[in-house]
Amino acid sequence: MNHPHRRFNRLSGDWVLVSPHRSQRPWQGKVERAAGEARPPHDPLCYLCAGNERAGGERNPPYTETHVFTNDFAALLPAGPGSAEREPAAEPPRLLESRPVRGECRVICFSPRHDLTLARMPVAAIRGVVDTWLRESCDLRSRFAWVQIFENKGEIMGCSNPHPHGQIWAGDFIPNEAAKEDAAQKRWTESNGGVLLLDYARTEAECGDRVVVRNKSWTAVVPWWAVWPYEILLIPHARHVPRLIDLTADEQDDLAEILKRLLTRYDNLFESDFPYSMGWHEAPNAPDLEGWWQLHAHFYPPLLRSATVKKFMVGYEMLGEAQRDITPEIAAARLRNCDESHYLEAHT
């Protein structure tokens, strides 16, 4: 498959253009600064470190594991406008549609240690993050249709602070990406009878070319339809699991273990503090949707060929469709070749 071709994303319904021959082209464009200068374990100026004051004026407690607080600059707010405010004075033109939304945004500090990342945390501490994700999701799902847990990591991704942290945005609506995935998974179940991502994980395990790491519960694969060079789809492969709270204790342990292995490989790939946006897609909060929805996480790293060269989604990709140069098979092979002990930690 060295010729240009398109691949179909079964999960989103989008196509991606693959141009493997193009990865040889010279690069004289923007070179990003390599991330990863040493940080202290506690930074008195960091608004996420334990005991410090946040930008909104509140003070973080002296937390020792994970810590969750309500985002001081939340994109979604619990209360909608009052009825007087909701009624427009004059009917707006039909083409200018809008809807009110309600929601809640939280920040999760993964660790009190300012100098760590998920990849460098011990598996037991990552297990604590998994617990927090489950607990927060369970709480917010009782009130909202969609709970988006995510981590935006690295300056290159627009992350505002290197302290290891993620976010949760919960809202009373199903956002675009979730709606596309819901429709695609439903379509698959209706026409094939199985669960799309379980069938997909089985296909990838049989084929093997795109699998990066696997344990008894989870498969991490550079998906057939990956857009980002080192994109990963993380799926619980052993059974139908719609939501985080449906994971057994064993599956949660296995999740912490596979995250450690996957994220270490990411850092080792370019020997850098590997940036990405990652997040969980659980079944939306409506009982009939759980039948076809399989829990999964996406990892979207922006890096292309080194710690300093980033993939840009511009031009044809903004106007036509996404395109990639290195194939998912080559990306997966490179990640498989990486070590599972972190390059910054002493080898014994």
Q: Minimum distance between the CB of residue 76 and ligand H2U, rounded to whole angstroms?
A: 11
Tell me the CA end-to-end span of the chain in Å, nearest whole number.
41
Q: Rounded CA gap, 326 and 4, in Å?
A: 11
Q: What angle do CA 198, 200, 204 make, to 5 degrees?
A: 120
x/- site string to Zn ion, residues 94 to 133, per CB under 5 A?
Answer: --------------------x-------------------
Q: Rounded CA gap, 143 and 147, in Å?
A: 10
Please report whether residue 49 would count as binding Zn ion according to CB under 5 A. Answer: yes
Q: Minimum distance between the CB of residue 72 and ligand H2U, rounded to whole angstroms?
A: 4
Q: Minimum distance between the CB of residue 164 and ligand H2U, rounded to whole angstroms?
A: 11
Structure tokens belonging to residue 205: 């395990």
Structure tokens belonging to residue 164: 């290891």
Please report whether residue 47 would count as binding ligand H2U according to CB under 6 A. Answer: yes
For residues 282 and 241, the answer to whether their CB atoms sit within 8 Å is: no
Structure tokens belonging to residue 190: 């209706």
Residue selected from 1, 55, 319, 346 as contacting ligand H2U according to rule CB under 6 A: 55
Please report whether residue 215 would count as binding ligand H2U according to CB under 6 A. Answer: no
Which residues within the stretch 85-114 sit at the binding site for ligand H2U (CB under 6 A)? Answer: 107
Please report whether residue 39 would count as binding ligand H2U according to CB under 6 A. Answer: no
Q: Which does 94 bind (CB under 5 to 8 A by kind): Zn ion, ligand H2U, none?
A: none
Q: Rounded CA gap, 302 and 307, in Å?
A: 10
Structure tokens belonging to residue 61: 């407690």
Please report whether residue 52 would count as binding ligand H2U according to CB under 6 A. Answer: no
Q: Minimum distance between the CB of residue 278 and ligand H2U, rounded to whole angstroms?
A: 11
Contacts of 125 (CB under 8 A, 6+ apart): 65, 110, 111
Q: Which stretch binds Zn ion (CB under 5 A): 35-43, 89-97, 137-145, 321-329?
A: 35-43
Strands 323-324 and 15-18, by their bridges, are parallel
Q: Which does 215 bind (CB under 5 to 8 A by kind): ligand H2U, Zn ion, none?
A: none
Q: Rounded CA gap, 50 and 60, in Å?
A: 6
Nearest residue (beta carbon) to Zn ion: 46
Please report whether residue 73 would count as binding ligand H2U according to CB under 6 A. Answer: yes
Please report whether residue 71 would count as binding ligand H2U according to CB under 6 A. Answer: yes
Of 67, 165, 296, 298, the active-site residue reads: 165
x/- site string to ligand H2U, residues 144 to 163, per CB under 6 A?
Answer: --------x------xxx--
Question: Does 281 qualify as catalytic in the annotation?
Answer: no
Contacts of 41 (CB under 8 A, 6+ apart): 113, 114, 115
Q: Rounded CA gap, 315 and 96, in Å?
A: 27
Which residues does the annotation mark as catalytic?
165
Given the rule CB under 6 A, which residues bind ligand H2U?
47, 54-56, 71-73, 107, 152, 159-161, 167
